[in-house]
Chains A and B, each alone.
Chain A
Amino acid sequence: MSSPVQDLSVLHQRREQRLMLALAMPALLVILLLVVLPVGWLAWQSVYHNGFTLENYRRIWSEDIYWRSFALTFEISLLVTLLALLLGYPIAYAASVAPKRWGIIILALVVLPFWTSVLVRAYAWLALLQRTGVINQLLRQLGVIDEPLALVHNSFGTIVATLHILLPFMVLPLYATMQQIPRDLMQAGASLGAGPMLTFWRIFLPLSLPGVLAGSTLVFVLALGFYITPELLGGGRTIMISMLVSRNVELYDQWGAASAVGVVLLVAVGLIFFAVSRFIPLDRVLGQK
């Protein structure tokens, strides 16, 4: 027979849970109506067109271009994620250890590009990287090169611009996590005789892993769906998945052809994260108790 005190606390707990659920209902409803239902409808279109058909998926499986495009998209996204990590980690670190005012300035500079549209930023990279662009002209004037370098209208230009646009998505989660790491731990490590490199490697880095994971996930998933940068800066040769989706809308007279590509991408990403979670205990890293 459980004590009355225990019963009361369980009751309170359940009431609180129900209250939380009720408060979350509007948001859940919005997500259901605006995300789950439309995506579900599109996915439905990919298998049903005047009767059940797997034609769209058969085409994706059998035609070479889809495999190549998926491979290229994953390649570019992984590369962008790695580079964003290499560039973003020092920036976030600097922002988190610097005196308060400098930290804010650094963050503001990172977030500033958000005030310009993605399209404008992509065109700005075009102006910088093209043959008669700023970078090539500078290098020629300095005498470093004779002929302009092909920095754009290829994968290179696409990667540079995508990296630039997605860098804040790496820096901000990293910064948020780094802020939480107590400074005393670093001092404790120093007082126990560890040099700065060792304290960083053994204390700071492992504690910043949730931020690394969150930032990397964000950047990777966003990069997979990028359309504007490969379209404008890829020269027509950097064919990422998003461009195939748009092609399919033009070529086939039903939405299912295009949405099938999207469904395959969704499933592929889901499988990847499932596989990754087998090796890295994701929920523990992200802080679940």
Chain B
Amino acid sequence: MMIASCYRRALLGVSFGVFATLSALPAHADQITFVSQGGAYQKAQTIAILDPSAKKLGITINQDSIPDAWPAIKSQVASGKPTWDVVDVPTGYCLRGGEQGLLEKLDFSKLPNGAAMPEAYRSPYSVAYEFYSSVLAYSQKKFSAEAAPNSWADFWDVKKFPGRRALRNHPIATLEAALMADGVAPDKLYPLDVDRAFKKLEEIKPNITVWWTSGAQSAQLLNDGEVDMVMAWNGRVSALTKEGAKVAYTYNQGILQSTSLCILKDAPNLATAVRFLNEAVDPVHQANLPLHIDYGPANPKAFDTGVIKPERAAQLPSAPENAAKQALMSYAWWSSPAGEAAEKRWVGFMQK
């Protein structure tokens, strides 16, 4: 059927216009999908690190969140077409993922910020992102400032420090605390003497009211008075004190742990992901993180930027004075066969 000439001209004009508009649009923007653990933590990251990085690099960062990324990482990489690019997970997962071929090997020539970080803070597959600590937290209603517990030996001493206790239902950090309670120095923990740690844990087991499984639970137990002493993550306890709860914690003999950034194998936007990773561990962005949450930046140069005030630095897990009092978690040991055997032994220990 012939289109009338006037309609034909109109059609041509419209299609020309559409074409022109389309070509005037910017080229498909670079983007990545970034995954962390959600909540207040991810909100703080967005303000301090993600938005500024996106602006500086001119990319779009699509965010996702999940409490435990490990099963999702496994199934995504197994499918061959993952939808995630960069994930922020506990460093142990990055090491395990690297060993199992689930992650991209990092080319540190493209990651100058990462290469400048201490050796212990990176691995062939990951770069440390932020630090948090497992600390001894206690109720100030039960223990006044002079009589407060200050070490894991105190935690284990039920006579001098009577009260109800809680520990995490997981061997990571708990075995370290048991060894420190038994007298091992924080810098001489690894390789862990697993038998000694479990023996020490058997001592305290009858006095443990709850073995907690989530960060929120650990904070709620302390806040509700369900327990008087608990090993918890410092950010959770600080959140309680901000709300006015009478609780406190000590960095002494704390266990300094980290989360790291890693890139999934066959990530859809690999080049952009590498650029983002470098930007995320830039000292300036990292220094902004503690302004919004009580976790420490991984890049030690962040403390030199002058953005973090000394009073604030004193509260952070990775500040040099605090880090010196703590034991640095060795994820390498935990991903070794000895570490995996210790993890498998845990359930048996819990059941008896």
Whether B74 pairs with A251 at a CB distance below 8 angstroms is no
- Which residue of B100, B212, B350 is within 8 Å of A237 (Cβ)? B350
Whether B226 pairs with A132 at a CB distance below 8 angstroms is yes
Asked if A121 CB lies within 8 Å of chain B CBs, one says no
Q: Which of B71, B347, B348 has the most CB of A within 10 A?
A: B347
Whether A130 pairs with B212 at a CB distance below 8 angstroms is no
Of the four ranges (under 10, 10 to 19, 20 to 34, 35 or more), the interface on chain A belongs to 20 to 34
**B residues in contact with A64, CB < 8 Å:** 348, 351
Interface string of B61-101 (1 = CB under 8 A from A): 00000001011001000000000000000000000100010
Whether B351 pairs with A236 at a CB distance below 8 angstroms is no
Spot the interface stretch: A83-91, A195-203, A212-220, A242-250: A242-250
Would A251 and B344 be within 8 Å (CB), given that A68-B351, A130-B226, A132-B226 are in contact?
yes
Of the four ranges (under 10, 10 to 19, 20 to 34, 35 or more), the interface on chain B belongs to 20 to 34
A63 to B341, CA, bound (A): 13
Whether A236 pairs with B70 at a CB distance below 8 angstroms is no
Whether A250 pairs with B212 at a CB distance below 8 angstroms is no
Whether A132 pairs with B344 at a CB distance below 8 angstroms is no
Whether B212 pairs with A69 at a CB distance below 8 angstroms is no
Whether B351 pairs with A239 at a CB distance below 8 angstroms is yes
**A residues in contact with B70, CB < 8 Å:** 250
Interchain nearest-CB distance for A242 vs B (Å): 13
**B residues in contact with A55, CB < 8 Å:** none
Would A65 and B226 be within 8 Å (CB), given that A153-B210, A235-B209 are in contact?
no
Whether A130 pairs with B224 at a CB distance below 8 angstroms is yes
Whether A69 pairs with B351 at a CB distance below 8 angstroms is yes
A253 to B100, CA, bound (A): 8
**A residues in contact with B96, CB < 8 Å:** 253
- Which residue of B169, B213, B225, B351 is within 8 Å of A131 (Cβ)? B225
Would A231 and B351 be within 8 Å (CB), given that A251-B340, A253-B74 are in contact?
no
* Closest chain A residue to B217, Cβ basis: A232
Q: Which of A151-197 contact B (CB under 8 A)?
A: 153
Interchain nearest-CB distance for A237 vs B (Å): 7
Whether B340 pairs with A235 at a CB distance below 8 angstroms is no
Whether A236 pairs with B343 at a CB distance below 8 angstroms is no
A153 to B221, CA, bound (A): 11
A130 to B169, CA, bound (A): 19
Whether A236 pairs with B344 at a CB distance below 8 angstroms is no
Would A65 and B211 be within 8 Å (CB), given that A251-B340, A253-B100 are in contact?
no
Whether A236 pairs with B212 at a CB distance below 8 angstroms is yes
A69 to B210, CA, bound (A): 19
Whether B213 pairs with A231 at a CB distance below 8 angstroms is yes
**A residues in contact with B344, CB < 8 Å:** 251
**B residues in contact with A130, CB < 8 Å:** 224, 226
Q: Which of B320-347 contact A (CB under 8 A)?
A: 340, 343-344, 347
- Which residue of B71, B224, B348 is within 8 Å of A63 (Cβ)? B348
Interface string of B159-192 (1 = CB under 8 A from A): 0000000000100000000000000000000000
A132-B224, A132-B226, A253-B96 are known contacts; what are 14 more A-B pairs with Cβ within 8 Å? Answer: A65-B347, A65-B348, A65-B351, A130-B224, A153-B210, A235-B210, A236-B169, A236-B210, A236-B211, A239-B350, A239-B351, A244-B347, A249-B71, A253-B74
B residues with CB within 8 A of A:
68, 70-71, 74, 96, 100, 169, 209-213, 224-226, 340, 343-344, 347-348, 350-351
- 3 smallest A-B Cβ distances: which pairs? A236-B211, A236-B169, A153-B210
A residues with CB within 8 A of B:
63-65, 68-69, 130-132, 150, 153, 231, 235-237, 239, 244, 247, 249-251, 253
